[in-house]
Structure 1
Amino acid sequence: MPKILPIDTPTLGDRAYLVHDGRVAFVVDPQRDIDRVLDLAAAEGVTITHVFETHVHNDYVTGGHALARRTGAAYLVNADDPVAFDRRPVRDGDVVGIGDGMRVLVRHTPGHTFTHLAYVLEADGAQVAVFTGGSLLYGSVGRPDLLGPAHTEALVHHQYASANGLAAELPDAAAVYPTHGFGSFCAVTQADVATSTIGREKRTNPVLTTPERQFVDELLDGLDAWPAYYAHMAGVNLAGPGEPDLSPPQRADAGQLRERLAAGEWVVDLRNRVAFAAGHVAGTLNFGLDGSFATYLGWLIPWGTPLTLLAETPDQLARAQRELVRIGIDRPAAHATGTAADWTGGDELAAYPRATFADLAQVRHHRPVAVLDVRRDLERAAAHVDGTVHVPLHELLRRLGDVPDGEVWVHCASGYRASIAASVLAAGGRRVVAVDDDFANAAAAGLPVAAGDTARSRV
């Protein structure tokens, strides 16, 4: 029986897969940093002969093209995708033999994209697994709106038909291996399971348990914003991205950091939000490596803006670069390592206070306070503190004028996004307090929490 090894990228919510028979292997949907795949293949003692793409990815830069070139493997991509490179084109119904006993059956499963494919693994005469990409996910499906509103209605119906087609064709025991659905914005919702089968999905997945019209309406109602950098991914992937350069960028001293800030470039502090709030270089932004760093940095940064990274250690810098190349930010302009004091060149550190929802409730008893909620629309609709201003984090840079004057308390769901927003406001000279707390504590702290009103209110 083939061995199936997932290769997780938890910060983007995706999985690739290495599948082998002890001698030869194929890979499905590899991420850009292909050294992880090569290392795993070497550890397993197998040769990669085939690389499969389920679709032209919207949420990351693929490593498929680079991996195929490095290994000499066949690169299998939908024949109808208008790629700019040589590949082995495949279509629905094609069968690919791999090694002595593995066969991969190609299935057209439109919905996440129009040309989406799933790959059914056959071994020992049985259909043992299906690699579903952004089609059938654990308890969900891939979102159908990434190609634009003109296509969303058609794609969601395709998604329903594709998922139900797979469920009807495959045995209940067949394992399901999706690419998305582990925190990826490419998934409609998230299921708290690590593995699944066709049989389990038939019992639990709304796409397989709900009438089509109901499924379509509920799915469309549940769609929220997706990261702005997605708009750049398909073009990069169609061109055939090469291997990334993960060597450190040039080093910047304190004077050069000041010059870059003065020029309007982005200088990003990778430390956690507690350390950043306590002391940082004025004008820098905080995207901590302890959260969804690349997702939110890629979402907010004006594409092509020179980027300098500030890290405590070379390992932190290397981690950040690896995260960034996955979304197409290949070469930071510069970097510095050390402490915040090292980066200021003797200048005074900037700082701002952190607080809890209990602190906010206490302050509100004594004076009016402007409170900014930077969560997304659906989070806001589920529950929000009365009398707060709502500007989702991904809209903040273009809606700074909607933030009330004076001191602003900023909150999100857990503190990570609030820190990003607080650093943006502080860099613009605003007085901020970052609420570093779980939103579930707001009501317990005595704050008036309401639900169902998504209006962007003002205090």
Structure 2
Amino acid sequence: MTIVAIETPTLGDRGYLAHDGEVALVVDAQRDIDRVLLVAGAEGVRITHVFETHIHNDYVTGGYALARATGAAYHVNAADPVTFDRVPVRDGDTVEVGERLRVRVLGTPGHTFTHLSYALYDGDDPVGVFTGGSLIYGSVGRPDLLGPEHTHDLARHQHASARRLAAELPGATEVFPTHGFGSFCSVDQSAVTESTLAREGLVNPVFTTGAEAFVESVLAQLDAWPAYYGRLGPVNLAGPDAPDLTPPAVAGAEELRARLAAGEWVVDLRHRVAFAAGHAPGTVNLGLDGNVATYLGWLIDWGAPVTLLAGTADEIARAQRELVRVGIDRPAAQAVGGPRDWAGGAPLGTYPRMGFADLAQVRHHRPVVVLDVRRDLEHNEEHLPGSVHVPLHELRARLAGIPDGEVWVHCTTGYRAAIAASLLAAAGRRVVLVDDDFPAGTFGLLGTAVRHGTNEQ
């Protein structure tokens, strides 16, 4: 038996294809199902069963489209109010896949109320369990995506569900989560890339902590999640089709100017270094080197037209693939080339890139605004004294409240700060991008660290 992980690192998720050499099952397929079909083809197997662990909030599922494309049975919790035909499954069911593979359905509420895990057997031997957003490496899936009124109860369910898995399956059973590789669906992150129930029992707080202490710890770690999460549940309940990844229409400089004048999103996908050195004024920088879909989906008004700018057609195609995974289906237009092509002869926008050492020197000589665009938990853990804190996902709504003066904007590595810097520049602010790692070397230069509301060196 073979299990292949199909990774989507920009969303921090994994799907899986498992097979016996002839037939295969797929768990938690991403929207761009061509990747799954390529894996099945390379393995020389036929997909006969598709499973969902839960109705996803962080991506548009490819399960429905994959089942239709392959003729596979599509297994979804009977309790989920989907609007499409599927094979309903419940806690305790068993699904035979070919002559050797068998899937046992386990109810594991916590990430959602109807979450399922799937224990995979090779004959009579349990070999792995697909845990979705229930048990993940070193943590659990977050329990707050269905609203604050359910969070406490779902956190308690997470504790009980994880312990059920450990009680009913051998310690050598491999754990195959969907979330936990950078996904905002996870309470915490781990660098571990594989694990077993026995190992999780030694290191995962869900096993090493009592229920009340575990719930308290989980609630203390929850921070903001991307705004588009609230929109994708209904999309997945409706059974989304496979995406259209054909190239968008090409826009020239005049059309780009018109789109910018209309207040549309024109997204420059180049690296922040290139963008800072020269860009078409009014464009926003979300580089392909980072989580472009996550942050664009978080920031835009849902359904707003998006035009993509990049150096090559391949980069446009990469961005399209990323965006369809979060429900941004068809860019309004695209343009390939460079900023002089896109600006159509107009002067380019630029702004400086500096480090924290430069910021320390500047603050000795003149006042500047230091803008921290990290999330609340990051800021509360440690931040620069005198900085203004506006999380990136709140920046558009709070632009008018940023103090007057030159704005030095920072995050943890520079990616989010680059997005913020481009938004500020588009709004006519004088901006400096702090393109540096935080907090390494920062506080000796810039003053006393502020941690958890106290001043400590």
Specify the TM-score bucket, using the shorter chain as the normaliser.
over 0.9
Q: Which residue of 1 aligns with 2:60?
A: 61
What is the 5 A alignment of 1:416-427? 416-427=415-426
- Aligned residue number for residue 277 of structure 1: 276
Query: TM-score, normalised to structure 1's length?
Result: 0.98
Structure 1, residues 178-206: CA drift from partner, whole Å, max 9, x if none?
00000000000011111000000000000
Taking structure 2 as the reference length, the TM-score comes to 0.98
Number of residues of Structure 1 aligned to a counterpart in Structure 2: 454
Give the equivalent residue in structure 1 for 2:405.
Answer: 406
- Paired residues of 2:107 and 2:114 also in contact (CA < 8 A): yes
Query: Which aligned pairs between 1:22-421 and structure 2 lie closer than 5 A?
Result: 22-421=21-420
For the residues of structure 2 that align with 1:304 and 1:82, how far apart are their CA atoms? Answer: 25
CA distance in 2 between counterparts of 1:370 and 1:447 reads: 15
Could you list the per-position Cα deviations for residues 263-301 of structure 1 after superposition, in whole angstroms to 9, with x for gaps in the alignment?
111000000000000000000000000011111111101
Give the Å deviation of 1:442: 1.3
Asked if structure 1 preserves the Cα contact closer than 8 Å seen for 2:142 and 2:186, the reply is: yes
- Opposite residue 442 of structure 2, the aligned amino acid is A
**Offset at 1:402?**
2.2
The answer as to 2:441 corresponding to 1:441 is yes
Aligned mates of 2:377, 2:150 — CA distance in 1? 22
- Of the structure 1 ranges 341-350 and 80-89, higher mean CA displacement relative to structure 2 is found in 341-350
CA deviations over 1:246-272 (Å, ceiling 9, x no partner): 011100000000000001110000000
| Alpha-carbon distance in 2 for matches of 1:414, 1:246 | 31
TM-superposition CA deviations, 1:148-183 (whole Å, max 9, x none)? 001111111111110111011110100000000000
CA distance in 2, matches of 1:227, 1:399: 17
Q: What do residues 383-404 of structure 1 show as CA deviations (whole Å, max 9, x unaligned)?
A: 1000000000011011112211
Match of 1:457 in 2: none
Q: Distance in 1 between matches of 2:259 and 2:441?
A: 39
Gaps of 5+ in 1: 455-459
Would you say 1:451 and 2:444 are equivalent positions? no
CA contact (8 A) 2:50 2:72 kept: yes
What is the distance in 1 between the residues matched to 2:24 and 2:314?
31
For 1:201 and 1:404, the matched residues in 2 are separated by 47
In the TM superposition, what whole-angstrom CA distance separates every residue of 1:425-450 from its partner, at most 9, and x where no partner exists?
A: 00000000000000123124344321
Deviations 1:339-380 (Å, cap 9, x if unpaired)?
111111111111011100000000011111110000001101
d(CA) in 2 for partners of 1:212 and 1:171? 22
Q: Shift of residue 124 of structure 1? A: 3.2
User: What are the superposed Cα offsets for residues 57-116 of structure 1, whole Å, 9 maximum, x if unpaired?
Assistant: 000000000000000000000000000000000000000001111100000100000000
3-state SS of 1:429 partner: coil
Q: Is the partner of 2:103 in helix, strand or coil?
A: strand
CA distance in 1, matches of 2:294, 2:8: 12
Structure 2 CA distance, aligned partners of 1:402 and 1:220? 30
Query: How many Å separate the matches in 2 of 1:356 and 1:307?
Result: 31
**AA in 2 matched with 1:77:** V
CA root-mean-square deviation: 1.0
Moved more, 258-267 or 118-127: 118-127
Percent of paired sites with the same residue: 68
Off by >4 Å, runs of 4+ in structure 1:
none
Question: Distance in 1 between the 2:341 and 2:256 partners?
Answer: 11
- The separation in 1 between residues aligned to 2:211 and 2:316, in whole angstroms, is 47
Cα deviation for residue 316 of structure 1 reads: 0.4
AA aligned to 2:205 is P
Tell me how far apart the structure 1 counterparts of residues 98 and 451 of structure 2 sit (CA, whole Å): 56
**How many Å apart are 1:125 and its aligned residue?**
1.4
- Counterpart-to-counterpart distance in 2, 1:349 and 1:370: 24
- For the residue of structure 1 that corresponds to 2:195, the secondary structure is coil
Offset at 1:225? 0.4
Q: 1:171, 1:162 → 2: CA distance?
A: 15
Query: Residue type matched to 1:448 in 2?
Result: T
Q: Distance in 1 between matches of 2:52 and 2:170?
A: 23
Deviations 1:129-161 (A, max 9, x none): 000000000000000000000111111111111
Distance in 2 (CA, whole Å) between partners of 1:357 and 1:386 is 13
Amino acid at match of 1:261: L
Separation in structure 1 between the aligned mates of residue 448 and residue 369 of structure 2, nearest angstrom: 15
CA–CA separation in structure 2 for the residues paired with 1:444 and 1:437: 15
List gaps (5 residues or longer) in structure 2.
none
Answer yes or no: is the 8 Å Cα contact 2:384–2:446 preserved in 1: no
Work out the CA distance in 2 between the residues paired with 1:344 and 1:388.
34
Give, in angstroms, the shift of residue 11 of structure 1: 0.1
| Deviation larger for 435-444 or 210-219 | 435-444
